[in-house]
Amino acid sequence: MNYILLSIFLLLSPCILIYCQDRPDNPPIIETPNEIDYLHEIVVDSLDIPWGMDFISENELLITEKKGELIYAVDGSKTQITNLPNVYVRGQGGLLDVALHPEYEVNNIIYLVASTNTEEDDKGGNTALYSAVLNLQDFQLDDLTLLYKATPNTNKGQHWGSRIVFDDQGYLYFAIGDRGQRDITPQDLSTDGGKIYRLNLDGTIPSDNPFVGEPGVKEAIFSYGHRNPQGMIFHPEKKQLWLNEHGPRGGDEINISLKGRNYGWPEITYGINYSGTIITNQTHKEGMEQPFYYWTPSIGPSGMAILTSDIYPQWKGNIFVGSLRFEYLERLVIEDDKVVKREKILDKIGRVRNVVEGPDGYLYVGVENLGIVRIIPKNETISLGL
Amino acid sequence: MKLFLLGYSVASATIFFSIDQQKTLKQSIEDGKMIYTDFCLQCHLADGQGVEGVFPPLADADYLFEDINRSIAGIKYGMSGPITVNDVLYDGLMTNQGLEDQEVADVMNYILNSWGNSFDEIITSERVKSVESPND
């Protein structure tokens, strides 16, 4: 009898141990290149948290500072834009992403996502999307328009999202994180948070959004069951919305957001609570999507670019993601719809908040407590005599 | 008799006040724990140990106790630039978290009385209010 009990215990004990710890590192394991064939230069300096950026031209940049500043930078010199929305700076919240309208050259419209309390109800805040006309004569925003405001407000400091992305069909996408309320928001279509949203460029809701016409739902929702997406891009070849999101400890993910799909948070996850306790042992469930890739250990992903230029030897088509936690830019090589290689770029540069491919084809990286950095391939620096 | 009544009321007021303060400290630490979980834990970790060279520790941290108002200002206004904590150099950025004065007081009380730390006075929202930005 005792032997039976003992063998049951011996059988179970590894499970108990495994489930109280992080999962083993998820391959491919991150590599540090033997030879570094690039340099970097700071193109805009002295920034705290350059959360978002978009290019007006090859040498003109719009940059958001999380603390609530919108900066126009031309050849490295900065001017603040005024008449911003009233930003509610709390915890991870503040002024988040900025993006130019696809026809900015014609209409001068930009979009912003910010943490706000538009109701003035002293109950905290939630994520909001604005449009405005950028007036570079007076360095101010005109016609500031609130396009979407998540409700209800909460004084939680976490998980506001967000990135602003356009597809090739005239839709705008943005993300809102679960707002630190994982058991309330991500699986409930009647409330905001833990979702990817799709709007027309004027802020109206597309009639073919997946949940339009269902009673009580937020009809702007495009996909749900997300935790906190802070990197998102329209894949230039696959024509899909790719994103990365902060998971719990050991559960950061790359997802491909498809219309109406459920990405499972918090019912399935590869991570555990930051305190070390279990959220769920389930990683799969019917009706819930698997991530394209998950990071164990968590890298703290922010920003996402898929390189289209030929400037860097061997990097075309690779995915680039900032690591806040390990302070590098991650390069992911994809083959046959799988991540086959991960490599550190700009190792130890600082908390990498954002990465975009500029109109000149170079990679521009937003680094906290540093600025905007441009990556230059070494072969080019020799020919330029740098 | 008047003197007695006056003495009595002063004495009872003092007792009530100190009971009230004790309760407040306990409550403040409890509330502070929630603030800590939401705003601080991700970097400074659940045990207040931080990450050596990246996020400074709060448990048994000399820098924290050297100048309490400086620590309050750090939470209230954010801080950046090099600091040395327990002989290790840190050169990071902690942004202003947007906490209200009472929340800063609560999280200070939690930090000052957790993981082996102890501090013999309560941080009040009035004290937080009076702490000015080191950059002004």
Task: For chain A, give every domain's residue range.
Answer: 35-77+302-386, 82-299
Q: How far apart are the CA of B9 and the nearest CA of chain A, in angstroms? A: 38
> What's the pLDDT at B12?
60
> What's the pLDDT at A22?
82
Q: How many CB pairs under 8 A join A and B?
A: 37
- Nearest CB to B95 within list A48, A88, A180: A48
**Predicted confidence (pLDDT) at residue B4 exceeds the cutoff of 70:** no
**Predicted confidence (pLDDT) at residue B18 exceeds the cutoff of 70:** no
For tokens 């950026």, name the residue: A53
> What's the pLDDT at A204?
98
Contact A158, A144 (CB under 8 A): no
Does B42 sit within 8 Å of A369, measured CB to CB? no
Say if pTM beats, i.e. exceeds, 0.90.
no
Strand partners, B108: none
- Nearest CB to B95 within list A49, A274, A276: A49
Cα–Cα distance between A93 and A85 in angstroms, integer?
14
Average pLDDT over residues B4-14: 62
ipTM over 0.85: no
| Nearby residues of B78 by Cβ (< 8 Å), 6 or more positions away | B93, B94, B95, B96, B97
Chain B, nearest residue to A125 by Cα: B98
A159 included as an active-site residue: yes
Does B39 sit within 8 Å of A157, measured CB to CB? yes
In chain B the domains, ranked by start, together with CATH numbers, are 2-130 (1.10.760.10)
Cα–Cα distance between A334 and A198 in angstroms, integer?
27
Cα–Cα distance between B51 and A286 in angstroms, integer?
39
- CATH superfamily, with its number, for domain A82-299: TolB, C-terminal domain (2.120.10.30)
| Nearby residues of A269 by Cβ (< 8 Å), 6 or more positions away | A247, A248, A251, A279, A280, A283
| Mean pLDDT (chain B, rounded) | 88
| Nearby residues of A174 by Cβ (< 8 Å), 6 or more positions away | A97, A113, A129, A148, A161, A162, A163, A164, A165, A196, A197, A199
Q: What is the DSSP string of B10-28?
A: HHHHHHHHHHHHHHHHHHH
Question: How far, CA to CA in Å, does A276 sit from each of A36, A64, A205, B27?
Answer: 36, 34, 40, 26
Nearest to A58 by CA among A47, A68, A43: A43
- Nearest CB to B95 within list A66, A156, A180: A66
Chain segment A107-128, per-residue pLDDT in tens:
999 999 999 999 999 899 999 9
Find the Cα–Cα–Cα–Cα dihedral A230, A233, A239, A241, rounded to 10°: 10
Least confident of A160-174, A335-349, B21-35: B21-35
Strand, coil or helix: A9: helix
Q: With beta carbons under 8 A apart, name residues in chain B contacting A158.
A: 38
